[in-house]
């Protein structure tokens, strides 16, 4: 017989039900319910800190916590300036992308009094081999613990009192009192809650490494992302050496900053000038290619957008995008068809952002549209030109923000001309060494760079 008061919890959204159901009524996921016994709910008890009382906001004195640097400038940039004591950071990414490598480098570079590296997937010898491969000199300040039992981990943390904890990974941790398996909704939630309590009560910074699903989302309940202070996403194509660290959530800094790394034999190395790196293999005189000036946070990036337009071999033309939003690609094709008069309905269109980078901002619209027209007409875009602008549904070119940084980056890399939206304030950019061409419509921009 089933125990009384047993609940069933959805692994996708943490919705609870008194009985098992095949499809979650909240999120619609199939076969996602697991049993959660009363012991699981009783286990969610933290230490009592006494009776709480309401206090006036005016009587609460601010106590700014000094950040500690990771001595990895790209990681500090994404974190908002460094590690905040007592914060919990969740780091996610595809398998093999470099999460454990980044965490080991951070543990070795951070000048913390004592760092506890908890591994649930590798042995201590494997961790040492990684440290040797990264050429990180062994230090007494890094302590390794191969354990997945949360009660044992909690006891060890209370004894050691480290200043930094790395957990690799949160999906392997489990509480013995719960009947569910490690990685389930209840176990991941309980493990996160435990490390949250340890971080806040002991003022310890905690980094949690998380798995991702096949859709690229962080595995486990979404409530985990709400619980932690910062969520970092490690992105990149494993076929390319470049990795992008992006802040999805950050209570202590901006979510617009990115860090760019290059994976090498000795680990992850920072990319000082990403624009020059991403354009290093660009070939001039080839149709279907243009350079755009994009902004990621406060950092300008020059990226090459490629397009290939070919007659379709199927009844329905293909629309394939790598590193670019497919829905935005279809919108640009509709604007080219309706506002410019280009017939692309009988052509397959393939677009790509070179270097394995993904770009989401509207300022790349004009560059992508010009790459498509360039491939369709088999006319190369001027290799010394950079384009910036958002394309509206009426075929107009709209202004984008932080234009000065974009133009300064283009001038620094030797580009001679920039096509920008009309009425954009851009005086004194590039010291007069770069020509600024203002356009109002997509058709005008095509005429400037590809001819009528």
Contact 150, 175 (CB under 8 A): yes
Q: Is the peptide bond before 35 cis (omega within 30 degrees of 0)?
A: no
> Sign (positive/negative) of CA torsion 289, 389, 452, 429?
negative
Sequence spans of domains, the chain: 7-38, 68-272, 277-450
Residue 385 to residue 399: CA distance in whole angstroms: 18
Fold matches, 68-272 and 277-450:
no
- Contact between 109 and 177 under an 8 Å Cβ cutoff? The reply is no
Query: What is the model's pLDDT at position 427?
Result: 58
Q: Which CATH superfamily is domain 68-272 in?
A: P-loop containing nucleotide triphosphate hydrolases (3.40.50.300)
In this prediction, residue 2 carries a pLDDT of 41
- In CATH terms, the fold of domain 277-450 is Ribosomal Protein S5; domain 2 (3.30.230)
Residue 170 Cα distances to 122, 187, 188, 190, angstroms: 13, 9, 7, 10
Helix (H) or strand (E) holding 275: helix 274-278
pLDDT, position 3: 44
Q: Which of 227, 156, 158 is nearest to 188 (CA)?
A: 227
Q: Measured at the alpha carbon of residue 181, what is the angle toward residues 103 and 164, in degrees to the nearest 5?
A: 25
* Positions in the chain whose pLDDT score sits under 70: 1-6, 36-52, 63-65, 112, 136-138, 215-216, 426-432, 452
Q: Torsion angle of alpha carbons 401, 403, 404, 409, nearest 10°?
A: 120
Q: Which residues contact 261 (CB under 8 A, 6 or more apart)?
A: 74, 98, 102, 242, 243, 244, 245, 268, 269, 270, 271
């Amino acid at each position: 017989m089933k125990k009384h008061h047993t609940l069933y919890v959805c692994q996708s959204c943490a919705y609870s039900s008194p009985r098992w159901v095949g499809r979650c009524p909240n999120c619609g996921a199939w076969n996602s319910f697991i049993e959660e016994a009363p012991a699981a709910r009783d286990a969610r008890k933290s230490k009592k800190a006494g009776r709480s009382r309401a206090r006036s906001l005016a009587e609460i004195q601010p106590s700014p916590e000094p950040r500690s640097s990771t001595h990895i400038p790209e990681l500090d940039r994404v974190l908002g300036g460094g590690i905040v004591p007592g914060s919990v950071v969740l780091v996610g990414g595809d398998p093999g992308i470099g999460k454990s490598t980044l965490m080991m480098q951070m543990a070795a570079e951070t000048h913390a009094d004592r760092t506890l590296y908890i591994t649930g997937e590798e042995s201590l010898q494997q961790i040492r081999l990684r440290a040797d491969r990264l050429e990180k000199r062994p230090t007494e300040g890094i302590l390794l613990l191969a354990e997945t039992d949360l009660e044992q981990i909690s006891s060890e943390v209370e004894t050691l009192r480290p200043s930094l904890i790395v957990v690799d990974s949160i999906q392997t941790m489990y509480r013995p009192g719960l009947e569910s398996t490690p990685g389930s909704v209840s176990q991941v939630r309980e493990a996160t809650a435990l490390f949250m309590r340890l971080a806040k009560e002991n003022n310890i910074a905690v980094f949690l490494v998380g798995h991702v699903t096949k859709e690229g989302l962080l595995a486990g309940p979404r409530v985990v992302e709400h619980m932690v202070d910062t969520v970092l996403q490690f992105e990149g194509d494993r076929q390319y050496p470049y990795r992008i660290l992006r802040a999805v959530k950050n209570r202590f800094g901006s979510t617009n900053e990115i860090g760019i790394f290059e994976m090498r034999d000795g680990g992850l190395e920072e990319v000082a000038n990403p624009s020059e790196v991403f354009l290093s293999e660009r070939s001039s005189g080839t149709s279907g290619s243009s350079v755009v000036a994009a902004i990621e946070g406060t950092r300008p990036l020059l990226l090459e957008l490629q397009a290939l337009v070919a007659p379709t071999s199927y009844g329905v033309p293909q629309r394939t995008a790598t590193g670019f939003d497919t829905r935005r690609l279809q919108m640009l094709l509709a604007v080219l068809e309706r506002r410019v008069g280009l017939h692309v309905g009988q052509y397959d269109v393939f677009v790509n952002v070179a270097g394995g980078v993904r770009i989401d901002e509207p300022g790349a619209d004009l560059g992508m549209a010009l790459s498509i027209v360039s491939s369709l007409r088999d006319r190369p875009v001027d290799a010394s030109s950079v384009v910036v602008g958002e394309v509206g549904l009426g075929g107009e070119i709209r202004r984008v923000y932080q234009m000065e940084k974009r133009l300064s980056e283009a001038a620094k890399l030797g580009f001679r001309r920039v096509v920008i939206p009309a009425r954009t304030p851009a005086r004194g950019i590039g010291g007069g060494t770069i020509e600024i061409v203002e356009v109002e419509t997509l058709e005008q921009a095509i005429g400037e760079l590809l001819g009528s």
